[in-house]
Amino acid sequence: MMMKRITLFAAVMTVLMFMVSGGAMAAPKGTLRVALTSSPNSLDLCYGADRNASNAGWRLYNSLVVVNDDGMIEPALAESWTVSEDGKEYTMKLRKGVKFHNGEDFTADSVIFSWNRGKGKDVTWRKKWDIVKGIDKIDDFTIKLKLDAPSPLLLRQVSYFWNIVPEGYLKEVGEEGFIKHPVGTGPFRFVEWKKGDRLVYEANPDYWEAGKPKVKKLIFRPIGESATRMAAIKTGEMDIVSRLSSEEAEMLKGASGVKVVAYPVDRVFYITFNNLTSGKGLPTENALVRQAMNYAVDIDAIIDALFNGHGEPLSGFFVSTNLGFNKNVKPFGYDPEKAKALLKEAGYPNGFKIEMAAPTGAYSQFEQVCEAIQGYLAEVGIEMKLTLMESGKYWDLEAKKELPPMFGDSWSCREGEPLERLEGTLGGWKQSYSSWSDPKIDEILAKVATMPDEKERAKLYMELQQYMHDNPPFIYLYQPMTFEAVSAKVKNYRPRAAEDYYLKNVSVGD
C-beta of residue 509 within 8 angstroms of C-beta of residue 423: no
| Range 222-232 average pLDDT | 90
Q: Do residues 329 and 468 lie in contact, with contact meaning Cβ atoms separated by under 8 Å?
A: no
Exposure b/e, 53-88, CB count within 10 A at least 16 = b: bbbbbbbbbbbbbbbeeeeeeeebbbeebeeeeeee
Q: Which own/partner pairs from 344-348 qualify as long-range (CB within 8 Å, at least 24 positions apart)?
A: 345/288, 346/283, 346/286, 346/288, 346/289, 346/292, 347/286, 348/283, 348/289, 348/381
pLDDT digits over 270-293, tens only?
Answer: 999 886 656 678 999 999 999 999
**Do 269 and 428 meet the contact criterion of CB atoms below 8 Å apart?**
no
Using pLDDT thresholds of 50, 70 and 90, give the confidence band for residue 46: confident
Report which of residues 427 and 11 the model is more confident about.
427
Least confident of 79-88, 173-182, 391-400: 391-400
Distance CA 21, CA 505 (A): 10
Across 161-175, 209-223, 300-314, 438-452, least confident range: 438-452
Counting Cα atoms < 13 Å in the Cβ hemisphere of 155 gives 23
Q: Which domains does the chain have, with CATH numbers?
A: 61-167 (3.90.76.10), 267-480 (3.10.105.10)
Decide: 215 and 203 in contact? Cβ < 8 Å: yes
pLDDT score of 13 more than 70: no
Confidence of residue 19 (pLDDT cuts 50, 70, 90): very low
The CA dihedral of 166, 171, 175, 181, to the nearest 10 degrees, is: -50
ω into residue 213 within 30 of 0, thus cis? yes
SS3 assignment, position 324:
coil
Angle subtended at Cα 81 by Cα 78 and Cα 84, rounded to the nearest 5 degrees:
145
- pLDDT higher than threshold 50 for residue 117: yes
Asked whether 456 and 351 are in contact (CB, 8 A), the reply is no
Percent with pLDDT over 70 in the chain: 91
**Cβ neighbours of 265 (radius 10 Å):** 20
* pLDDT given for residue 47 in this prediction: 81
What pLDDT shows up at residue 431? Answer: 47
pLDDT above 90 (res 200): yes
More confident residue, 419 or 461: 461
pLDDT band of 2, cuts 50, 70, 90: very low
**Are 21 and 33 in contact, with CB atoms under 8 Å apart?**
no
228-399-123-134 Cα dihedral, nearest 10 degrees = -110
pLDDT at 107 over 80: yes
Which pLDDT band, with edges at 50, 70 and 90, does 21 fall under?
very low
pLDDT over 90, % of the chain: 59
What pLDDT band is residue 302 in, cutting at 50, 70 and 90? very high
- Average the pLDDT over 302-307 and give the result: 94
Most confident of 43-47, 157-161, 170-174, 253-257: 170-174
Mean per-residue pLDDT for 71-82? 92
What is the C-alpha to C-alpha distance for residues 471 and 276, in angstroms, rounded to an integer? Answer: 17
pTM of the model: 0.74
pLDDT higher than 80, residue 22: no
DSSP output for 202-232? EE-TT-SSTT----SEEEEEE---HHHHHHH
* Identity of residue 61: Y
Write out pLDDT tens, residues 356-410: 999 998 888 899 999 999 999 999 999 999 999 998 888 888 877 788 999 999 9
Residue range 135-175, pLDDT digits in tens: 999 999 999 999 999 998 899 889 988 999 999 999 999 99
**What's the mean pLDDT when you consider all of the chain?**
88
